Amino acid sequence: MAKKKDSEKGKSYTTLSDLEIKEVYGSADLPEQLESKLASPGRYPFTRGIHSDMYRGKLWTMRQYAGFGTALETNKRFRFLLEQGSSGLSVAFDLPTQMGRDPDHAMARGEVGRVGVSIARLEDMRTLLSEIPLDKVSISMTINATAPILLAFLLVVAEERGVPWGSLTGTVQNDILKEYVARGTYIYPPRHALRLVSDLISFCKRKVPRWNTISISGYHMREAGCTAVQELAFTIANAICYVESVLRTGMEVDQFAPRLAFFFNCHMDFLEEIAKFRAARRMWASIMKERFKAKKAESMMMRFHTQTAGSSLAAQQPLNNIVRTTIEALAAVLGGTQSLHTNSYDEALGLPTENSAQIALRTQQIIAHESGVSRSVDPLAGSYLIENWTDRLEQEAFAIIRKIDEMGGMLNAIEKRFPQDEIERAAYNYHKSVEDQIRIIVGVNQFGGGEEPAEGQKLDPKGEEEQRVAVIQHRKARGDSRAQDSLSVLASAASTAANGSDDKGRPVNFMELIVECVKSGCTLGEISDAIRSGFGEYRG
C-alpha cells in the first residue's frame, strides 16, 4: 500500500487497484446481506472456501514450476523437487514448444530450452516423465496454443506405461484468450483456437475424467500490469467465453464445469489479494448458478492455483525477494488457494538454482507446518476491512464484465483491444508511481546499496544443438507413410473446420486426430503446421 497524496487532513492511501483505503473500518463498513455471503465454508457462494474443512482436511498442493534446457535436465530438477517434498509438478516449456516450432526451425534458433524445457517429439516426453509416477503425482503443464499436442504426448506415454488415462490427475493450461490479451504466444486466429480448447475439454470429459482441462489464467495479465480488479474481471470474462464455447458443442454445463480450474497471481498488496481470492469464488459461484443455470455445487466451486508475482521480484538486493514471496504466499493461503507455486528469489537474474528452488518450497512448508494459519478455515472472515474490500472488488470487477458483455463478449472485446488497452494504461500508471516514489520498492527506488551477488542457473549451450540433431534424426528414422497420412487427415479437418462446414455436428474431435499423429511419430512442429495449413496464423 502506498501514499497517494498529501492533504490538510493527512495522508491518503490506495490499494494497488487504486481503491481508497480508509483509516479505520468498523461495523458500518460491512456489506449488506453479509450473512448470506458468509455461508459456511464449502457452501454456496463459497466466499469462505470451497471445502468445509479446507487445509485441516488437506493442505494445498505445493506445486513448483520448473523447466529448462533438455527433457533430461528438467527431469532431474523434477525428481529433486519431489525428494524435497513437493506434492505436484508444473512444467514450463520453451518458446519454440509454445509456438509450435521444432528445434531445427529457423525461428527456434537461440530459444531452444531458454525459458522452459524443449519438447518436440514423444521421446522428449518419455524422458521428461522418466521415474515420475504418473498415477500418483499431479502434473500441470503451462501450455496454451499447443496444449492439445503436449497433452497427447503425455497421454501416449501413460498408455505405454500401462497407466490408465482415468487415473491421471493434473492440469493443462489451455487458456488461449489471455495470450491475445497479454502474452502473445498464440498461433491460430482466436475463433479457431477456441475450437481446439473446447475439443480438448470434450475429449477429456470422455477419456481423461480426472484431468483439469483448462486453467483460466489471470496470472499473465497481472504480470503484464493489470490491477487486481482487472485480473478478476478479465479472467472471469474469459471463463464465460470458454463456457459458452463448450456449451455450443452440445455438452451440458454440469458435465464439464467441475473440471474447470483457474490460475491467479498473488501480488504484494497483502490484504487486497486476500479479498480478491474471496471475491473471485463468490463471483464465479453466482455466474455459474444464475447465468449458466448450473445445478451441481461442484460446477459453482472455483478451484484455483496461485503463483507469487514474478513482476514483484527485483534484481537489486535479490535476497529481499524471499520476503516478498513469503508475504505473497501467505496471502494466497489466507485467500484459500488449492495449489501454490512460490517463485525463487533469483528469478529476476536468471533460471532458479536448486538452492533457490528449495528455499521457495521451504517457504510453503513453513507456512503450512509452522505458522498455524492452516488450522482454521478463512480465519480473516468477518474482518471489517476484508469483508468491505471483498465486496468492493466484486462490484468493481462486475462493472468491467458488464462492459465486456455490452461489447458482445470477450472475443469481441479482444478484437477491439479493450482489455489490452486497459492493461497498458494500468501498467503505465503503476510504473509511473514507482518512478515518482509514490510507491516504495525496497532496494529499487529507496534503501539501495548492499546488493548481494547471486549466481543464476546456467544452461549447457550444447543442449540446443543436441535437440536440433535429435529431431532431424527422428524424422529420418521413423516410417514416414503413417506419419504423413495422419498429418493429411489433421490438415483436412482443420481446413474443413476453418470453412465452418462442421460447426453444427462437429463429427471430428481434434484431440483424437492429434493423439493419432503422436502415435504415428509426428513432431510437435509438424502437427502444428498441419493445423496452420487449415486455420492460418494470427498476426494480431
pLDDT in tens, 35-63: 999 999 999 999 999 999 999 999 999 98
Say how far residue 170 (Cα) sits from the centre of its chain: 13
Summarize the confidence of residues 224-240 as an average pLDDT. Answer: 98
pLDDT band of 500, cuts 50, 70, 90: confident
Give 351's pLDDT tier (boundaries 50, 70, 90): confident
DSSP track, 433-499: HHHTTSS--BTTTBS---PPP---B---THHHHHHHHHHHHHHHHS-HHHHHHHHHHHHHHHHHHHT
The pLDDT tens digits of the residues spanning 428-454 come to 999 999 999 999 999 999 998 766 655
For the domain covering 6-22+35-435, report its CATH number.
3.20.20.240
Q: Could you tell me the pLDDT band of residue 4, with boundaries at 50, 70 and 90?
A: very low
Phi and psi torsions of 348, nearest 5°: -75, -10
466 vs 459: CA distance, rounded Å: 13
Query: Are 264 and 231 spatial neighbours (Cβ–Cβ below 8 Å)?
Result: yes
Q: What pLDDT was estimated at residue 1?
A: 44
Handedness of CA 476, 480, 486, 492 (dihedral sign): positive
Q: pLDDT band at residue 9, thresholds of 50, 70 and 90?
A: low
Predicted local distance difference test score (pLDDT) of residue 457 = 63
| DSSP secondary structure, 389-426, as one string | HHHHHHHHHHHHHHHHHHTTSHHHHHHTTHHHHHHHHH
Q: What is the DSSP string of 124-188?
A: HHHHHTTT--TTTSEEEEE-STTHHHHHHHHHHHHHHHT--GGG--EEE----HHIIIII----S
Q: What is the pLDDT of residue 425?
A: 97
Look over the chain and give the mean of its residue pLDDT values, rounded to a whole number.
Answer: 93
Phi and psi for 215 in degrees, rounded to 5? -120, 95
Q: What is the DSSP track for 98-129?
A: HTT--TTSGGGTTTTTTSSB---SHHHHHHHT
Task: Kindly indicate the confidence band of residue 8, based on its pLDDT and cuts at 50, 70 and 90.
Answer: very low
Q: Which residues pair with 14 in a beta bridge?
A: 2, 20
Q: Please, are residues 240 and 199 in contact by the beta-carbon 8 Å criterion? A: no
Name the residue among 219, 179, 170, 183 with its Cα closest to residue 197.
179
What average pLDDT does this structure show over 161-188? 96
Beta-bridge partners for 217:
263
- Do residues 271 and 386 touch, judged by C-beta distance below 8 A? yes
Q: How much of the chain is in helix, strand and coil states, percent to nearest 5?
A: 50, 10, 35
d(CA 223, CA 347): 14
Q: Check pLDDT > 90 for residue 402.
A: yes
Query: CA torsion angle for 531, 217, 110, 64 (degrees, to 10)?
Result: -120
pLDDT of residue 330: 98
| 462 vs 487, residue with greater confidence | 487
d(CA 195, CA 425): 31
The candidate with the shortest Cα–Cα distance to 342, out of 52, 81, 53, is 81
Gap between the Cα atoms of 306 and 170, Å rounded = 15
Kindly write down the DSSP assignment for every residue of 246-297, as one continuous string: HHTTT--HHHHGGGEEEEEEE-S-HHHHHHHHHHHHHHHHHIIIIIS---SH
CA-CA distance, 487 to 519, in Å (whole number)? Answer: 11
Which tens digit of pLDDT belongs to each residue from 314-338?
999 999 999 999 999 999 999 999 9
**Cis preceding linkage at 45, omega within 30:** yes
* Whole-number percent of the chain with pLDDT over 70: 95
As a whole number, mean pLDDT of residues 230-237 equals 98
Cell 465454508 -> residue: 41
pLDDT at 194: 93
d(CA 304, CA 277): 9
Per-residue model confidence as pLDDT tens digits over 107-138: 999 999 998 999 999 999 999 999 999 999 99
Residue 301 is given by DSSP the state: -
- Residue 299 predicted with pLDDT over 50: yes
Residue 354 DSSP class: H
Identify the three-state secondary structure at position 65: strand
Instruction: Dig out the grid coordinates for 358 from the structure.
Output: 528449495
pLDDT of residue 460: 72
Per the CB < 8 A criterion, the answer to whether 528 and 150 are in contact is no
| Tens of pLDDT, residues 255-270 | 999 999 999 999 999 9
Measured distance CA(199)–CA(217) in Å, rounded: 19
- Find the helix or strand (DSSP H, E) in which 92 lies: strand 88-92
| Residues near 336 by beta carbon (within 8 Å), at least 6 away in sequence | 48, 49, 50, 54, 277, 278, 281, 378
At residue 458 the predicted structure's pLDDT band, cuts being 50, 70 and 90, is low
Share of the chain above pLDDT 90, in %: 88
Q: Are 97 and 151 in contact (CB under 8 A)?
A: no
Q: 300-310, pLDDT tens digit by residue?
A: 999 999 999 99
Q: Are 134 and 91 in contact (CB under 8 A)?
A: no
Domain boundaries, the chain: 6-22+35-435
Contact yes or no for 516/203 (Cβ under 8 A) = no
What element of type H or E holds 10?
strand 10-14
Per-residue pLDDT at 418: 97
Average pLDDT of the segment spanning 520-524: 98
Nearest CA-CA partner of 204 in 503, 430, 509:
509
pLDDT of residue 146: 98
